[in-house]
Chains A and B, each alone.
Chain A
């Protein structure tokens, strides 16, 4: 998944790396032999998928429903259209202009056991959930402590975490994740593109937030909520409040904002 993995002191990191590698081999859009690539090669009709892919896709569909379709696995075609067609490390950072494509609705795909039905062409992208879920599974694999992958964290022990733009918070348990539009960004036709697609437009989201950090019951929930809050835009803080989730926002100028739930959890001196 192209991210730095770290674990708590005294814990071997190799089993966690192997878990991430295995997930990458199955769920990468960019590896031609991954199961997801094979599923995407025929983007409509009925497909029998593995239990692992069915389980991850079911989680992604659950996340999509929980976010009102904001964080959707149907976004693969729009990412391709935006130019994100290979691993980010080898992606040309500049290129010709691109035309957005629409994001299919959730009604276009359904899952019955291991049977995937797509009634319209849907290129799947499971990055909305794979990394967070793998962090959670890695924590279970090592039996406690903490795991971080690219700054998305799951912990069963109190952990002091540095935040984008400065500052620190203690994550007592559960998950914390930051979603950013500045980390995986490139340009096409002079326009900045990034990996967080607004399903309403099929384009990379235009949002006032550069970084959104959320704490939730586990890493995948925190990551999905952070992505959703970023996509909601100026309403992101209240969207998180409605879900009783603490959120911290860094805007395009570097100013830090927090929502009410975050403020209530911390003394005023550390809230922002």
Chain B
């Protein structure tokens, strides 16, 4: 069997280096995508303390605060509670 020339050896080493670079780039992109997905608040699966409320609000949306109407009438009794000041 004929020994590879120096040029053939150099070409083979170049192919191996290209494959390695490509594989590293693909692996790096995959890791980045997985980390980004895990860190995103909408898809995060990080364990959190139990929550009693699920908030999906958005301060850019239309105003949500409503005063409604107060419902008062005459009182003829001793007050049960005093409205002080806050």
A residues with a Cβ closer than 8 A to B are 3, 6, 8, 48, 50-52, 54-55, 57-59, 61-63, 65-66, 109-115, 131, 146, 148, 150-153, 158-164, 168-180, 182-184, 211, 213-218, 221-225, 243-246, 261-262, 265-267, 270
Contact = CB atoms under 8 A, between A and B. Distances in A.
B73 A246 contact: no
Interface in B68-86: 68-75, 77-86
B86 to A, nearest CB: 5
17 contacts: A59-B65, A62-B63, A62-B65, A111-B59, A112-B60, A153-B83, A159-B80, A160-B78, A162-B81, A168-B75, A170-B73, A174-B71, A211-B85, A215-B70, A218-B68, A223-B86, A270-B74
Interface of B: 41-42, 51-60, 63-75, 77-86
A252 B77 CA distance: 28
A213 B67 contact: no
A216 B59 contact: no
Interface of A is mostly: mixed
Nearest to A213: B83
Contact of A161 (B42, B58, B64, B80): B80
Contacts of A215: 70-72
B59 A179 contact: no
Contacts of A222: 70
A111 B58 contact: yes
A3 B86 contact: yes
Given A153-B81, A178-B86, A216-B70, 6 more contacts: A52-B52, A57-B59, A168-B77, A169-B73, A172-B72, A174-B71
A177 B65 contact: no
A58 B77 contact: no
Contacts of B84: 150-151, 164, 178, 180, 183
A177 B86 contact: yes
A217 B55 contact: no
A245 B55 contact: no
A146 B83 CA distance: 13
Contacts of A63: 65
Contacts of B75: 160-161, 168-170, 270
B11 to A, nearest CB: 50
